[in-house]
Structure 1
Amino acid sequence: MLSQTKRTEIKKGSHKAVLEQQALYDIIDESLIAHVAITNELGPVIIPMLAWRLNNHVYIHGAKNSRLLRTLKSGQATCLTFTLFDGWVLARSAFHHSAHYRSAMVFGNFTAIENNNEKDRILNHFIEHIAPGRTQEVRLSSEKELAATDLLAIELNEASVKIGRHGVNDDASDMNIKAWAGVLPYRTVIGPLKACEALDPQIDEPDYSHAYRGRWHND
């Protein structure tokens, strides 16, 4: 079960709250983009970052001189959001048009991973998540590259999940309006691969379709 705190309590649309930990994991694993909030001398800033999960932690990475990572390494509290858009809900009235979505918010503080071997392991996990088997084929990061990279982790101890998937909710007085009503689904389609111009033609195209079941372009 997800934590229930004042910050994670969903007040508006509380019927959309989901408390299963796996729902949080699924949203993060599919999204892979976190919008990360910080406050600096100019005020609040929200920056989209590649983000991935390993067990009960979310990781982000970047260059040592990143203002976002410097701020987070200082111990500043933050909030991460993840959003997946699943479709438009088209109602019989303009007022009741809405959307299907899955969203998550994570609260807490990041900590830095300093050991290069651990950095390498966690960064490679990200590569394997998006392209299984790839770390067996490419040159892995050098000590110099790892030393130039900051890797931060936040534990998933305080989080909320909200999922809108409840279809059309028209007023009874609008049910006789002669307008189509229903859901206009959206989905992210992965692939096909596009080879770079300098690729050796003798190299076979890898198959990553099994990592994106239901979202691969020819599924």
Structure 2
Amino acid sequence: MTAFVLLGNRGGPTAPRALTSDEVNRLAITRFLNYQAGGRAVTITVPNATGGLVITGSIDYRTHTGYGVVHGTGRDTSSDGLIQWTATTVLVHPMTDPPAAAPASPPASGWYSRQLRTSGMSLDSSLSIALRLGSDRPDNAALLPQNGAAWVGRDKVHGHQTDIMNGPDADTKASTSGTVRYWIGSDGTMYRVQVSVASESQPVVFDFDTRTYVPVQPVPGITPAP
């Protein structure tokens, strides 16, 4: 299972305890449910020293493609605009006054393409993690408790009652290591994920189910590498 180190607290976690069989099963299927749904609307809050970035958009977990609008906070507005990404490619469309939500059909021009960086950049690390919060198969429930998964509390997220669970410990390729923290509903639905990236001291937060999922349309004339 893909996992990332946790930093910071939200929702009043308590002392960890072993997962019940029901909690193990919900943790095991949470990424698979994202894939099974086809895609999810997501808001990604990426911290940095000058303020941070908020990406509002959608992720297609069948094609592993994300698309949305980027708004800078504080002094960080240099990345404002539209963004579409895969595991290897980032397409950016700079805008001085980006809309609150990305248009359903991406603009036909004004895009710049670059490789997604695998280390040293909190934005790219966050984009990579977001894509891996969906999986085409459930995780191995028998291995989760052995690898450090635990229950740490309960919280209400966007009107949904959730259990807060730590995922297993593991190294990853996205400048992250250690434990991921999930906020999971009674049916296994993922409502929030909080992780850290190696280049930042504050956690990245992924909030799901705040808006209706809008299917991701490719940028006209450009097919990013998967």
TM-score over 0.5 (shorter chain): no
TM-score w.r.t. the length of structure 1 is: 0.30
Q: Give the number of the structure with larger relative contact order, counting CA–CA contacts within 8 Å between residues 6 or more apart.
A: 2
Instruction: Give 1 or 2: higher helix fraction.
Output: 1
Q: Which has the larger radius of gyration?
A: 1
